Structure 1
Amino acid sequence: MITVFGEGRGFRVVWLLEEMGLPYRLRPVDMLAGVEHDAEYLAINPAGFIPAIKDGDATMVESIAIMEYLMARHGPTPLAPQPHDPAFPAYQQFLHLGEAGLATPMYFVVVSRHFAPEAERENWGAGKALEVFESRLRLVTRQLARSPYLAGDRFTAADISVTYALQFAQRTRCFVLGKTERAYVARTSGREAYKRAMETCQATKAWAAKVAAEMAGQ
């Protein structure tokens, strides 16, 4: 059975596994308590970040690489258009843009705005990271003006990648999505596999509920 270590970006992996109908188990990794105290996990990923997976003899890290591995090893799946498919270029672009262009720069905004010393929260690096996020988001907005999903008319793993990044920006209160992006997130997060993934990822579910309650109370 596939073991997924950690939530966070591991939510992408759990969601993908639910979409593919593959058996798995989630092994929590408490980053706030300090991964340095989790010897079992450090044996899996000595770099100490999440997520990671173990699938038989294979161990992998990096959420997008894990997704590509799972779809290649346990596919084929309509979540990954084939190279000859007209949807493939957009799929490939947005699958990677969800991490490289959106979630990664937003991470540096989040750690600066929420965890840096007060005097350093509005630093140049965080401002530049936010500019990068906003510029890449324009590619998403333009694509959604053309089609309901990022690779066209059907849902793919690219939507899992980008939806995670957009929800991360929302839930950390570091960015307000526009109407187009909010409608898109509502569409993708309405899927049954997403709902099952949320039931598995209880820490993510609790965080999302907490943020929703705070925003409703404003």
Structure 2
Amino acid sequence: MITVYGEGRGFRVVWLLEEMGLPYRLRPVDLIAGVEHDAEFLAINPAGFIPALQDGDVIMVESIAIMEYLMARYGPTPLAPQPSDPAFPSYQQFLHLGEAGLAASMYFVSGARNLAPEAERQNWSAGQALSVFESRLGLVTRQLAHSPYLAGETFTAADISVTYALEFARRTVGFAFGEAERAYVARTTGREAYRQAMDVCADTKAWDKKVSRL
């Protein structure tokens, strides 16, 4: 049985598993309470961050790496175009940009805006991270001007990666997206597998409802 430890970026993994129809279980990890008291989780990931994945003897961390592993191990799947497919370069680029360019940058913006002392919430590093997010978002916007999904006409794991990042930015700092991005997120989050993943990830679903009411 595949076990996913933690929500957060683990939502990407759960969504992918739902899309692929693979059996799994989600094991909650309470970062607020502190993972130092969670010996089972620390045995899986001593670094103490989420998500982590256990698949038999395989243990992995980092959401994009986990996604690539699952698609390679249990594929082939249309969620991951083959290298010979003309869609592959765009797929590969946006799969990784969703974390390296978007979610990782917004993580530091969110930390400053929501957790830092009041006097440090507009610090230089947070401003730089926001600038990085916005510049990478421009690549997403440009791509969506030519196709409904980031690798072309077909939904792929790159869309899971990027949609998570855009939703993270909306939920954490109230980032205002343009019409193209909003329409794109409506398409990706309208999928049945997304709704199933939200039902599994109860904390993420509750967070989204709370933000939507504000």
Query: TM-score of the superposition, structure 2-length normalised?
Result: 0.99
Partner of 2:207: 207
Give 3-state SS (helix, strand or coil) of 1:133's partner: helix
Residues 17-56 of structure 1 deviation map (CA, whole Å, 9 limit, x = unaligned):
0000000000000111111111110110000000000001
Residues 109-140 of structure 1 deviation map (CA, whole Å, 9 limit, x = unaligned):
00000000111110000000000000000000
Structure 1 residue ranges (4+ consecutive) displaced by more than 6 angstroms after TM superposition: none
1:109 touches 1:174 (CA, 8 Å); kept in 2? no
Distance 2:118 2:143 in 1: 37
Give 3-state SS (helix, strand or coil) of 1:193's partner: helix
Distance 2:12 2:29 in 1: 15
- How far did 1:174 drift? 4.2
**Is the aligned partner of 1:193 residue 2:193?**
yes
Residues 127-166 of structure 1 deviation map (CA, whole Å, 9 limit, x = unaligned):
0000000000000000000000000000000000000000
Residues 159-192 of structure 1 deviation map (CA, whole Å, 9 limit, x = unaligned):
0000000000001134111111011000000000
Query: Which runs of no fewer than 5 residues in structure 1 stay unpaired?
Result: none
Give 3-state SS (helix, strand or coil) of 2:110's partner: helix
Task: Quote the RMSD (CA, aligned, Å).
Answer: 0.5
Distance 1:137 1:6 in 2: 26
Count residues with an aligned counterpart: 214
Residues 67-87 of structure 1 deviation map (CA, whole Å, 9 limit, x = unaligned):
000000010000000000000
Partner of 1:24: 24
Give 3-state SS (helix, strand or coil) of 1:114's partner: helix
Partner of 1:124: 124
**Is the aligned partner of 1:74 residue 2:63?**
no
Partner of 1:110: 110
Distance 1:26 1:150 in 2: 28
Distance 2:203 2:19 in 1: 20
Give 3-state SS (helix, strand or coil) of 2:60's partner: strand
Give 3-state SS (helix, strand or coil) of 1:59's partner: strand
Which shows bigger deviation, 169-178 or 201-210? 169-178
Give 3-state SS (helix, strand or coil) of 1:172's partner: helix
**Is the aligned partner of 1:65 residue 2:65?**
yes
- The within-5 A match list for 1:88-103 is 88-103=88-103
Give 3-state SS (helix, strand or coil) of 1:176's partner: coil
Distance 1:195 1:53 in 2: 21
- The within-5 A match list for 1:99-178 is 99-178=99-178
2:113 touches 2:173 (CA, 8 Å); kept in 1? no
Give 3-state SS (helix, strand or coil) of 1:26's partner: strand
Distance 1:62 1:119 in 2: 32
Partner of 2:5: 5
Query: Which runs of no fewer than 5 residues in structure 2 stay unpaired?
Result: none
